[in-house]
Structure 1
Amino acid sequence: MAQQTRWVIVGAGFAGAATAWALSRAGLGPGLILEQEPSFGMHASGRNAALVKLSEGDPIIRTLAKRGLRGMRSLESPGAPLLNQTGGLAVASSDSSAHELEELQHALATEGVPSRLLPFDRARREWPFLELLDFQSALWCPDEGVADIHALLVRYLEGAREGGFRLRTNTRVDDLVMERGRAVGVLIGDDEIRADTIVDASGAWAGQLGRASAPLGLTPMRRHLFVSGPVDFVRGDLPFTWLEDAALYFRPEGDGLLLSPCDETPMPPGLPSTDPAAAELLAEKLGRSASRLGDLAIRRSWACLRTFAPDRRPLIGSDPQLPGLFHVSGLGGFGMMCSAAVGELAASLLSGQPADWIDAAAVTPGRVI
């Protein structure tokens, strides 16, 4: 006889774990979280730069990030913070980017997010390492920082377990079980697990479940990250720094820097290999915008997949063509920092509750079908 539960959540990264946590917190268990890998968070959820960045240009992502930060803070316990609140800097070297930072600072102020716009000389006085960069203005957001991504993911899964969710690893979902046009469960080899609702939170694999002939319009994109050798100005409390014109960021990592050239290459789902061209791109960008960092020794590098819809907003909502299937996917490079809000919104929509803090129509899956 097939196993029966209320929810089956496919994927134990931030999308799936935060959704299970939010359902659990609302008293809406039980359910199963099914993860194809031997452990949770083995793909983008465990391989990202851990940045919490509120100064997002897209108002929908910014709304999710602000609420996500509050949710993350609510999970902290004394002596066990989830965020190293270093603050974040976005720097602009061109007139157009400087104008965009001005507009963004105005939006942040309107929304009550602390921030300051600083000219080069003042920013350099406050953060002397900025002398290494070529720019004209900087946006400072003190509430930003670097998250403990492993601890956050564990908190979600612990909260989900308390509400009746169980995690099963090494469990690959092959397809949906359909009856009279509705998804009523999932197939795992020759076995079935029945559920009231199936949540596709499978990251780079999302949008294919039940849709072999017409997958959702999601694209996994490879991005590289690098860790440098020792850098003399590095301290653990330095802000992360985002170079808007160069499309490059860095933050402290041990006695060196974690850097990314913000490369994007479409890739199939999986664990991506690294491409030597990404190191060349990083060196080229540093040479243009931070020439005195151009000779950094690289200790290690890796790549991860970030999955996007065409408009770069997430998919959170019911599948308009497959009743019983719900999507939490397309979280791109903001899934971790928005995860608490993503889970909260998903739980509200799944339980038929209003979510008056965001325009849910902006993230409906129907827009990519």
Structure 2
Amino acid sequence: MAHPDVVVVGAGIVGAACAEALTAAGLRVLVLDRGPLAAGTTAAGEGNVLVSDKGPGPELALARASRERWPRLLAELSAETGSGADVEWEEKGGLVVATSPEAVEPLHRFAAAQREAGVDACVLAPAEARALEPHLTPEVATAVHYAEDAQLNPVLAATTLLTAVRRRGGETRPFTEVSGVDGERRVTGVRTPQGTIPCHAVVNACGPWAGSLVDRAGLAILPRRGIVLVTAPLPTVVRHKVYDADYVGAVASGDAALQTSGVVESTRAGTVLIGSSRQRVGFTERFEVPVLKALARKAVTLFPVLAGVPVMRAYGGFRPYAPDHLPVIGEDPRLPGLWHATGHEGAGIGLAAATGLLVAELLTGRTPHVDPEPFRVDRPEVMAA
């Protein structure tokens, strides 16, 4: 291809969504990744497209826009390719469960605030919750049903987006590490072991590694590790994404120590995914037995039927954590032409569709579909010292 207009660094779900939206806007795009495509944080995700875990505010607005966009985008890509875009999209809905009397009132209060923001959050009595999930613990005190929660296969989704990029004349290059960005007053190119690639703009979609892409324009983005257990295939045991009420608190916590909560959902293949954990331990990949035990114990608390089910494997990944729990989306004022799309932590799969569109809108000067101000790069919480 001719010199690209934009180089996207990072071929995960967020980078792929940015590249897709930019090529849809008519720009020449090159996607680079230091490893295989969609093999980093994206491959370690559960595929959640959630509104249930976000309180009123800018992240919820971005999540709702992305939830609306995902099925439309997939339909458009299917029509464009003529071959379908099966990314295992399931509008399964979510169920948030309180298993103690103390958790009832906070969960109801959180759901009421979401309803004020336009979220479909329906409070259920214990019998109603068990009608939706027959294997749910009898200890359920109340639950909230979120009809909008969905799931997809994150690797299939990312590769589908990148396929569209290539069909439009874009290019993807795995195993190509970017060692720096050229340009004193604005971006002029990116440096790789194969040489410098001239371009007009760079999108930093490196996930938890985004803070170190450009030394002079660093970001306070840190890795936050998460681990998921995978059971052997089962008949349908879990119909929705189900998690206990303390999950929202774990997501919002800034504590570096281990945070766990019960999160259980099935896949199309019949396996059950069990999470979730959050822990700031740098890029340490070693699994810790106490974390695995905590996840299994909390899953059995929600679904006692899982007690005798074998776990086939566990996998983990690093989420891009921003101290104020908001993504970083926009142009870096310290180096015009450098754009960031990172900091989504565990919500990157769900937020990717709207993030990619927002980057394309801002970069091409179009009216953004969501307010970009809260995600600014130069907010004090994420500007590295």
Q: In which range does the TM-score fall when normalised by the shorter chain?
A: 0.7 to 0.9
Distance 1:81 1:192 in 2: 36
The equivalent residue for 2:333 is 320
Matched, 1:32 2:24: no
Contact map agreement 2:262 2:302 (CA 8 A) in 1 = no
Contact map agreement 1:261 1:285 (CA 8 A) in 2 = no
Matched, 1:198 2:202: yes
Closer, same or farther: CA 5–286 of 1 in aligned 2, 3 Å: closer
The equivalent residue for 1:160 is 165
Matched, 1:142 2:147: yes
Contact map agreement 1:224 1:262 (CA 8 A) in 2 = yes
Matched, 1:226 2:229: yes
Q: What SS does the corresponding residue of 2:361 show, helix, strand or coil?
A: helix
Q: Of 282, 289, 294, which aligns to 1:267?
A: 282
The letter for the 1-side match of 2:214 is G
Closer, same or farther: CA 106–81 of 1 in aligned 2, 3 Å: farther
How large is the Cα RMSD of the aligned pairs? 2.5
Unaligned runs of 5+ in 2: 248-260
Contact map agreement 1:234 1:256 (CA 8 A) in 2 = no
Distance 2:189 2:203 in 1: 10
Q: Of 360, 363, 366, which aligns to 2:375?
A: 363
1:119-130 paired onto structure 2 within 5 Å: 119-130=125-136
Closer, same or farther: CA 80–199 of 1 in aligned 2, 3 Å: closer
Matched, 1:302 2:315: yes
The offset of 1:94, in angstroms, is: 4.4
Closer, same or farther: CA 15–230 of 1 in aligned 2, 3 Å: closer
Q: Of 95, 100, 105, which aligns to 1:99?
A: 105
Contact map agreement 2:98 2:140 (CA 8 A) in 1 = yes
Closer, same or farther: CA 17–287 of 1 in aligned 2, 3 Å: closer
TM-score computed with the length of structure 1 as normaliser: 0.88
Distance 2:286 2:112 in 1: 41
Equivalent pairs counted in the alignment come to: 357
Q: What SS does the corresponding residue of 1:22 show, helix, strand or coil?
A: helix
The equivalent residue for 1:258 is 273
Closer, same or farther: CA 145–105 of 1 in aligned 2, 3 Å: same
Contact map agreement 1:228 1:297 (CA 8 A) in 2 = yes
Deviations 1:293-321 (A, max 9, x none): 44542111111111110011110011122
The equivalent residue for 2:258 is none
Q: Of 83, 87, 109, which aligns to 2:115?
A: 109
Contact map agreement 2:187 2:338 (CA 8 A) in 1 = yes
Unaligned runs of 5+ in 1: none
The equivalent residue for 1:336 is 349
Deviations 1:227-264 (A, max 9, x none): 123556626xx111011236220111444421013232
Distance 2:300 2:70 in 1: 37
Matched, 1:176 2:181: yes
Identity between Structure 1 and Structure 2 (%): 28
Range that drifts further, 281-290 or 310-319: 281-290
Contact map agreement 2:332 2:339 (CA 8 A) in 1 = yes
Q: Which has the higher strand share?
A: 1
Contact map agreement 1:18 1:343 (CA 8 A) in 2 = yes
The offset of 1:62, in angstroms, is: 1.9
The equivalent residue for 1:61 is 59
